[in-house]
Structure 1
């Protein structure tokens, strides 16, 4: 199992944003293609911190990048065992995955980290490698322009068969502009690297099951090459 512990940054300055986070994230993880990977949804644990439990590393990767995009949160991922039966509430759970997620989020708060993210797992080497890949993906995404995100959002929010020309028509730009923005945003490169991060997370928790590393159906789409 994989536990995500997410802690708000600077709550004393900007105020408590947990309720807004839970409102934003609930429909995102409730979609049919993501729901199967959610063992326990996000909920407030203590103070300005939230926690959730997942059985799908592809979803963990996707959610990690989504939370990093929101900004203002430190993300800790713990991969390991959970004590069964798992309580209905994630905050009442126990096991190595919970302990490791706690250690991870504390590490993620370090001011030395450009990307506020850390991974801890039963296999420390695999966890460190997963962290490295996720940090690179997060750093790359942080450099995207609003124009780049607009194309990515239009491409991923529409019908699975949506083409670049459809996105261009929707945004009122040329297909060449769509292609250029995707290249500049390194979107294809991110999609190519996500499975590697998911597989490393699987290994970090002591499992290499293929079902845990498949891309979440319908969640992301590889853009067409012009």
Structure 2
């Protein structure tokens, strides 16, 4: 399972953004949450998910806003689940707490902590070990976030329209610029790199999650 704990940056000198962020995430992502986003300790939000792709997308959305330190915990969760994220517990929640604490000092404001893989079982039993551990996956996601962090507002405008399925000609007409300028903005925004990297990061997160249950990688 995946737990995201996000703590608002410099909340003492800013308005409370938790309610607004929760509403925005629910509007954008719908009913993908195992436990919906919940405001926990004042300016902090927390959510539980079962899907690696959605978890990464949520991390990206929070990071893009620029207002959150983000911790992603990967691991087991105590069942039966309560009604809200603030009442839930388990190794994934412990990991998210550790990750968000470290994220506050990171350049990307992101941290990831995965539940340690347990000791080997009986002789002959197969145990899934992740290809990369949590620290290594964190480093790759952090690098990915740094690339996006350097994207200009013009680059974001072109990328957002491209990801809706518009062609470069259509984007040019929408933005009132040339097709060549659209192409340059997409290149500078590293849009193709972004699209290529995301599926690989999702697989690595799935692999970490599978390791906590002892199952092999999805195919």
Match of 1:9 in 2: 9
CA distance in 1, matches of 2:13, 2:61: 23
- How does 1:1-226 map onto structure 2 within 5 Å? 1-30=1-30, 35=31, 37-110=32-105, 113-123=106-116, 126-156=133-163, 158=164, 160=165, 162-205=166-209, 206=211, 209-210=217-218
> Which shifted more, 120-129 or 43-52?
120-129
> Equivalent residue for 2:125?
none
Offset of 1:204 from its aligned partner? 2.3
Change (3 A) 1:208 1:102: farther
| TM-score, normalised via structure 2 length | 0.85
State the distance in 1 between where 2:179 and 2:133 align. 40
Q: Which residue of 2 aligns with 1:222?
A: none
Asked if the contact 1:80–1:122 (Cα under 8 Å) also holds between the matched residues in 2, the reply is yes
> Shift of the alpha carbon at 1:87?
1.3
Return 5+ residue gaps in structure 1 as ranges: 212-226
Matched residue of 1:118: which SS? strand
Root mean square deviation of aligned Cα: 1.7
2:122 aligned partner = none
Deviation at 1:38, TM superposition (A): 2.1
Partner secondary structure for residue 107 of structure 2: coil
How much does 1:45 deviate? Answer: 1.2
TM-aligned CA deviation for residue 184 of structure 1: 0.4
Higher relative contact order, chain-length normalized (CA < 8 Å, sep 6+)? 1
1:166-217 deviation per Cα after TM superposition (whole angstroms, max 9, x unaligned) = 2222212222211111110011101111122212222223255438xxxxxx
Across the two proteins, how many residue pairs are aligned to each other? 201
Whole-angstrom distance in 2 between the partners of 1:121 and 1:41: 21
The superposition leaves residues 59-102 of structure 1 with CA deviations (integer Å, 9 ceiling, x where unpaired) of 11111111111012100000001112211201111111111111
